[in-house]
Amino acid sequence: MSTGHTHKTARLPRITEMAHQLLAERVKAGDTVIDATAGNGYDTLFLAELVGDTGRVHAYDVQNSAIQATESRLSSAGYSDRVELHHASHTAIAESDEPIQAAIFNLGYLPGSDKHIITQADSTLEAVQAALSRLISGGMVLLVVYVGHAGGEQEAEALECYMRTLSTRDYLVLKYEYINPDNRPPYILAVEKK
């Protein structure tokens, strides 16, 4: 979003724009961050730009094709050194306790890939909890939630139920959703640590 006082051309940011905006506002050079669902590597690349030469992105994916696509995208941009690729479930986030500034989860299936390989409520919830436990004050865990595919509704419901239990003493949970959609666009659940 613009500062709004010189240009008045604002329009509501769409879901992907909003996700990137929320990250760009918080992640700075030198930070350690997580892309929990590397997928085609777009978010990994975006985070690699934000953390700069001195920062670190940890990117996870269970699918070999996703790791390869991400590796190739980072290499083209010259950012390979900034990113550690984990060919593993994002539940492996729990294997470290290094503090993080942000984590992003793009739920659902890998675009252009097997729609039966989807993120699952159980493991996603476990990974989200691990990410939250590593979050520094002012940091954010960001979920882009897709509900249009089989299994999407259940995963979304499980995540939202969990989010609603988070204490307002420690966290603020924003739901950012377009409610007059043509075809079930994703929505954002953003958890900010106080």
Nearer to a copy of itself, 27 or 83 (CB): 27
Q: Residues 72 to 101: which contact a copy of itself by CB under 8 A? A: none
Rounded-to-integer distance, Cα 22 and Cα 189, Å: 11
Q: How far is the CB of 10 from a copy of itself (least distance, A)?
A: 4
| Nearest residue to 121 (alpha-carbon basis) of 92, 149, 87, 157 | 157
Under rule CB under 8 A, residue 116 binds a copy of itself? no
| Nearest residue to 157 (alpha-carbon basis) of 166, 144, 145, 149 | 145
Nearer to a copy of itself, 14 or 115 (CB): 14
Distances (CA, A) of 35 to 1, 39, 67, 154: 23, 9, 12, 22
Contact with a copy of itself (CB under 8 A) among 17, 21, 154, 184: 21
Nearer to a copy of itself, 4 or 78 (CB): 4
Under rule CB under 8 A, residue 107 binds a copy of itself? no
Residues 172, 194 contacting (CB under 8 angstroms): yes
Residues 108, 152 contacting (CB under 8 angstroms): yes
Contact with a copy of itself (CB under 8 A) among 12, 64, 78, 98: 12
Binding-residue total with a copy of itself (CB under 8 A):
40
Rounded-to-integer distance, Cα 123 and Cα 103, Å: 15
Under rule CB under 8 A, residue 177 binds a copy of itself? yes
Contact with a copy of itself (CB under 8 A) among 2, 95, 97, 116: 2
| Nearest residue to 40 (alpha-carbon basis) of 92, 93, 110 | 110
Nearer to a copy of itself, 45 or 142 (CB): 142
Rounded-to-integer distance, Cα 134 and Cα 93, Å: 9
Under rule CB under 8 A, residue 176 binds a copy of itself? yes
Chain contacts with a copy of itself (rule: CB under 8 A): 1-5, 8-12, 21-22, 24-28, 138, 160, 163-168, 171-182, 189-190, 192
